[in-house]
Structure 1
């Protein structure tokens, strides 16, 4: 690896760390599987740091969308269950076909409630003891996104699931898998892990509707970032239609310093696919 600025190299290694940067220069190795750690000719530390910064900005912009979609999902879940079943109806075991999963979810909710010190939670703890858990609109605010995903997945009523998912822009079956996937993506971003060319282990069903989304996603990229970004583009148009997030995302993607869009799962014609063509 060529290091033109030794001082910058020392600063990067001291403030980012060798091990974290290695996840990015692995991309520049000639044969990563060989164990020889030989770089491709012309590899520079500057290129590694530029790719690192690109990935950092990518995580930050995804967190913006994930926050909006997560808040919308929490609100949609709480609204549907409160309006149909009442403030504490979400704790009715009859709503959930699998009693064991329901109990696991309630146990986890109780644990998260006990650990929470939000002002509204402390007020409920001081003021009420029956029922022991708060109403659904409060639970939606302190429970983890992963647990919200589990409560949604456990619901037996298709009408409830469809009503909740529709407000986020998806069919309920797609949304169920997408919630689990987005929870893992958020964890990756929150822990500042490499994102740009990651191969995901948790995937989601391919959306068949609306047509623009179906024509944008790529079945060949089911474990790559491209489909995740495409799903976020669609959902953001539903939950935050006035946001400039899509254009900011597209501008950042175009700056991809590696020039390797395939590593992110982008098909060759991605710029012509409906959701991307509309913002480029």
Structure 2
């Protein structure tokens, strides 16, 4: 069991592990605002062999160096907020349109048979109804017309219902709706590749959630990554250089393709790449994510 340490003790601990700290008071202020545990997720990549029990920092490592990576990661999450929001709104619009024009704007999207759900998973329609029911928006509350006061959304148009769904529920609707054909319909509406489209949307939900919860993007490998089309990936690599297919950069390339084709904004990746040198520690951690080194040097 690890003991609970005060901020000053945390600073002292890092110092005993050979981390060069130029201003201990500033280091303490930073940890008090950002949390030692969160910071240590970045620091491990600068230690000799944390998985092997050697938590000493590699010679010459400074607190300011690790803080620079930490703050660059924070800036990246902030930079992704707008394009991810644009993509989400775009998907809401085209999903509502596809359902309304192909399946009708009322009722059908609230039927369990509209969705093809995997075995032992929550029925998608339950998630849809839960999101709608807990909405306090007037455009939703207006349709609670059951005589006994129970929610009744049979007259709620899909374009209104879509606005009440979480991004995760919207993703499930796209993936499972209309016998799994809704994903193709939405992709066609947007003018993007149908192949793997639902999984690309799932990846954007995952990326948005990591940004919303301030989770680390640097050296993060997206295990369940959506299949970014080869032509989209190749185009992105020509602009910014090589990157791993499970890297955050690959997910951003997919995001750019969606918002550009949907005319919902400008690509984010070129701007992000322009903020960092290709050989920098931060950029390399985005392009080629890995676990912390477990070796002695």
TM-score, normalising length: structure 1: 0.81
Q: Does 1:223 align with 2:235?
A: no
In our comparison, the structure showing a higher alpha carbon Rg is 2
Q: Which moved more, 1:257-266 or 1:7-16?
A: 257-266
Q: Which moved more, 1:172-181 or 1:43-52?
A: 172-181
Question: What is the number of equivalent residue pairs in this alignment?
Answer: 264
Aligned to 1:277: none
Question: CA separation in 1, counterparts of 2:110 and 2:251?
Answer: 32
Structure 2 runs not aligned, ≥5 long: 1-18, 290-297
Deviation string 1:134-188 (CA, Å, 9 cap, x unpaired) is: 2211121111111111111113467643231134453233211111111111111
Q: Give secondary structure in 2 for the equivalent of 1:30.
A: strand
1:250–1:260 CA distance, 2 compared to 1 (3 A) = closer
Aligned to 1:272: none
Task: Choose the corresponding residue for 2:131, options 106, 109, 112.
Answer: 112
**2:98–2:189 Cα contact (<8 Å) kept:** no
What is the root-mean-square deviation of aligned Cα atoms in Å? 3.0
1:255–1:140 CA distance, 2 compared to 1 (3 A) = farther
Task: Choose the corresponding residue for 1:40, options 29, 41, 58.
Answer: 58
Task: Choose the corresponding residue for 2:140, options 108, 121, 134.
Answer: 121
Q: Does 1:151 align with 2:173?
A: yes
Aligned to 1:28: 46
Structure 1 runs not aligned, ≥5 long: 268-280
Q: Which moved more, 1:19-28 or 1:128-137?
A: 128-137
**2:92–2:163 Cα contact (<8 Å) kept:** yes
1:119–1:156 CA distance, 2 compared to 1 (3 A) = closer
TM-score, normalising length: structure 2: 0.77
Q: Which moved more, 1:103-112 or 1:182-191?
A: 103-112
Shift of 1:237: 1.7
1:213–1:99 CA distance, 2 compared to 1 (3 A) = closer
Deviation string 1:193-220 (CA, Å, 9 cap, x unpaired) is: 1112112222112414xx3544546997
Question: CA separation in 1, counterparts of 2:64 and 2:118?
Answer: 55
Q: Give secondary structure in 2 for the equivalent of 1:172.
A: coil
**2:219–2:286 Cα contact (<8 Å) kept:** yes
**1:181–1:204 Cα contact (<8 Å) kept:** yes
Shift of 1:240: 3.7
